[in-house]
Amino acid sequence: MLWPGCFSGRRDQNCDAIATHWGPRMSTPEPEAFDTKTVIHAGGAAVVECRGELDLATKDEMESLLRRLLSEFELVVVDVSQAQFIDSSFIHNLFMADSLARDQGRPFRVQYQDTPLETVLRISGVLDQLDCGTTRLEVLR
């Protein structure tokens, strides 16, 4: 649980004072477990729909999935529109997949929505350096 005004999520004396002043604790939703669903589209495209937390704990599984799909399909799209959290290991997998796709002469794209994750994608360079779009039609073009 996060205490209002406590960015670390830890409860200490200063946070108690703020919580007492502001009222009860604020609750945060429980993170969803990592989950992917691969949707195959006509024309040889595979879309990996990601949900939950995409982090170091899921890095190897995601890397393996992307490598396999990039060897089997003409176009691979990673959709992070419903992801709750991404970290640098997931960002690394996106850049690895893009590099592998380029080496094979194939496109690789990322689908996202205007969510807090967009800030992470922008700061990390994903939106500037990779082929990205906000709609399924846009990334399947």
The pLDDT value recorded for residue 141 is 87
- Band (pLDDT 50/70/90 cuts) for residue 6 is very low
Higher pLDDT pick, 43 / 100: 100
The pLDDT value recorded for residue 35 is 80
- Return d(Cα 76, Cα 69) in angstroms, integer: 7
- Return d(Cα 126, Cα 95) in angstroms, integer: 8
Nearest CA-CA partner of 84 in 117, 112, 113: 117
Q: What is the mean pLDDT of the chain?
A: 81
Report whether pLDDT(22) > 60. Answer: no
Higher pLDDT pick, 4 / 55: 55
- Return d(Cα 21, Cα 96) in angstroms, integer: 48
Where along the chain do its domains lie?
A: 1-29, 35-139
Over residues 81-95, the mean pLDDT reads: 95
Q: Count of residues for the chain?
A: 141
Q: Which fold has domain 35-139?
A: Transcription Regulator spoIIAA (3.30.750)
- Band (pLDDT 50/70/90 cuts) for residue 93 is very high
Higher pLDDT pick, 15 / 73: 73
Over residues 28-47, the mean pLDDT reads: 77
Q: DSSP characters for the chain? A: -BPTT-TT----HHHHHHHHHH-SPBP-PPPPPPEEEEEEETTTEEEEEEEEEESGGGHHHHHHHHHHHHHH-SEEEEEEEEEEEE-HHHHHHHHHHHHHHHHTT--EEEE--SSHHHHHHHHTTHHHHSEEESSHHHHT-
Beta 45-54 vs 35-41: how paired, if at all?
antiparallel
